Amino acid sequence: MPRVDGATLRAWRRFRGWDVPEMARRLRRAAHGRVAAHDGLIRMIYAWERGDHQLSERYQAADAARHEPSPRLHAIIFMRRATASAVLEDNTEVRRSIASARRELDRGDHPADPHWVGFVTSSEITAHEAMAAFSLGQAETAARLFRDVLSDVALASRNQALYQARLAMSLHAVGDHAGAVSEGLKVLPVLEGPVKSARSLQQLRPVRQRAAPDSEFAARFDTIARSYTAAVS
């Protein structure tokens, strides 16, 4: 596999954080005036960066990377295909894509695996399965799956914060508002300190809207939101 250049790698990290506008700018800079170091990877990222979940887009990435030998790279494609399929309410394709992602991961490490695919684990696939379930309106299933993900002690702190917030969001969606606040309170200390993640905070917004205005959750959420706004203003 060709070596992925630094500019493309930085863009990919933005994609993982769903910072779509910034990722698009970085990709354009990475590709400007030269042939991309890893054209298949860039095409794969663009397939989801555009936010276009049409059927053809779900398969463009797989076609672009079909000759890539890295199992984890293919697992990423299947994970993203699962979440895109859920937006289209295609439950059959979701199940098929998640199963394919697990099969790719089961193939083990490969010399062609770039170092940045190390985040692809069984827990990460389960997290995508949970996100797909939520998109399909299966919030109870999503909550169960997010609990499974959070049992992984090896989760990176940023991912743990995100999935904890999504567990709270899922509980809110099934009407367990007390449970949603309880789980949300577990992630707020992380967002107050070591992890600054507007995305994770955004997952908690429905919980905040339901919480009592004078509650601890509401006060701490609002303080974090103000600090994030001040940091970018």
Q: Is residue 125 part of a domain?
A: no
pTM of the model: 0.75
What is the number of structural domains in the chain? 1
pLDDT, tens digit (0-9, with 9 covering 90-100), for 165-176: 999 999 999 999
Can you give the residue range of the structural domain that contains 165? 156-233
Q: Is residue 215 part of a domain?
A: yes
Whether residue 62 contacts residue 77, with contact meaning beta carbons closer than 8 Å, is answered with yes
pLDDT, tens digit (0-9, with 9 covering 90-100), for 108-131: 999 888 777 888 999 999 999 999
**127-162 residues labelled b (16+ CB within 10 A) or e (exposed):** bbbbbbbbbbebbbbbbebbbbbbebeebeebbbbb
Q: Is residue 209 part of a domain?
A: yes
Q: 115 versus 156: which is more confidently predicted?
A: 156
